[in-house]
Amino acid sequence: MRGGTVAVIGGSIAGCAVATALARAGAGQVVVLERTGGRLEDRGVGLCVHDERAVELRASGALPEGIAAHPLRRRRWVVRDDAEGPGGRLIWQQPFPFHSYHWGLLWRGLRESVPATVVYRQGEAVTAVEAAGTGTGTSAAEGDRARVRLAGGSVERYDLVVGADGYRSVVRAALCADSRPHYAGYVCWRGNVDAARLDELGGLADPFPEAVTTVCFPGGTCVVYRIPGPGGPRVNWVLYAAPPPDGRLRLDDPTSFPPGALTPGLAEHLDALLEREFPPYWRRALALTDPADTFVQPIYDLEAARTAGGRLLLAGDAASVVRPHNTSGAAKALQDATALADGWRRSDSFEELLDGYHRARGAAGRELVSLARRLGRAQVERTPAWAAMDGDGMAAWWRGQLDGAPGIGGRAMAP
């Protein structure tokens, strides 16, 4: 296929990757419609990509060279044990072949790689999308195109509309309105702090720079790892636990308290959790986080019933919302972009493109959602007696979560 007009709804990681991939694959005109008017926020701040996925994605051109990343080699699982010292007791270690990224630096690298032929329009909020063939009073040619309605009331028509607009996707609402995020029953606290501030704790400034440390406690876990940052290395942490019991969070719709909006009551709840459950060193490390760099969000997941149809197509979180335990979100978005570009080159029509994409990426998304649900149940919803676990017991427990999957971080793409 050559030529054709494509609208990419959403200009973050998935949107930039899709726009770049389609422009390189031969799309005639690619337009990115991003609702924010300024710089995109550093969403979640830290993320990881499996080393094998990174090699694959660099080879396809989806992951540009030169983006700052921090190598990780192992994952440490620790529990509070005051007899073992302030760092807690190590109950297991496993290989962890990943690199960590700063969301903002990764997005900027992807944004800078978008070809100049792509029109990237900021401040363009899309309020509704209509699949091809659903409009009334249109000519035959217009009926083969999808319609995009903007906040100002204007309507634009494209040969293909790609929803890269996240878990609240407007494109998904048009393609499969009944597919909505479902609350998992627990929340995620996130934060990050300048790694140099660990000096304030005494001892080594960064005791495990190449490791992800997982702090285990009844009813939850917390992963702590280094990431690169615009001003130097940072310590990123993600804590999963039951929600505050007094209704301080809305759980009926995907939402969060963004950085800087944490209420005093929520901050007190987090402080009490750290004091009660964490080894002293890790409690003090997380407590260094500035309130402006701390936020909390309920965890949701979603499997879209369809990922393509009617000249509409879903990529990234718009297609499947995967709980973060699987450490696959960024890689999956870049794989979606790669698969779409490969399909564009192989297909003779939009119908063939959409059908092939749905078969390949729909299955990949369902697999990731299923694995992340198992991980969430085992690491948050139904945690084992952590303090009684040893290395052999942890290894068997881990294999039970994987249930035949090769590991976390996503699978290699089919050739």
Q: How far is CA 360 from CA 9, 302, 365, in A?
A: 21, 17, 9
- pLDDT surpassing 90 at residue 414: no
Burial class from Cβ neighbours inside 10 Å (0-12, 13-18, 19+) for residue 333 reads buried
Provide the pLDDT for residue 292.
Answer: 85
In the chain, the percentage of residues whose pLDDT exceeds 90 is 83
Predicted confidence at residue 259, as pLDDT, reads 64
What is the per-residue pLDDT across 243-273, written as a single tens digit (0 to 9) for each?
888 766 666 556 566 666 778 888 899 999 9
pLDDT of residue 394: 98
Q: What are phi and psi of 170, to 5 degrees?
A: -70, -35
pLDDT at 137 over 60: no
* pLDDT tens digits along 41-77: 666 689 999 999 999 999 999 999 999 999 999 999 9
How far, in Å, CA of 53 to CA of 192, rounded? 25
Distance CA 7, CA 22 (A): 11
Structure token digits, residue 217: 């406690």
Half-sphere exposure of 89 (CA within 13 A, CB side): 15
* Segment among 45-54, 114-123, 203-212 with least mean pLDDT: 203-212
Candidates 302, 307, 300; CA nearest to 176 is: 307
* Top-confidence residue, 252 or 125: 125
Weakest mean pLDDT among 53-67, 147-161, 175-189: 175-189
pTM above 0.85, yes or no: yes
Q: Is the pLDDT of residue 304 over 60?
A: yes
Distance CA 118, CA 159 (A): 15
Report whether 213 contacts 176 (CB < 8 A): no
Q: Over range 365-391, report the average pLDDT.
A: 97
pLDDT tens digits, residue range 97-113?
A: 999 999 999 999 999 99
Kindly indicate the confidence band of residue 196, based on its pLDDT and cuts at 50, 70 and 90. Answer: very high
pLDDT at 283 > cutoff 60: yes
Task: Output the average pLDDT for the chain.
Answer: 93
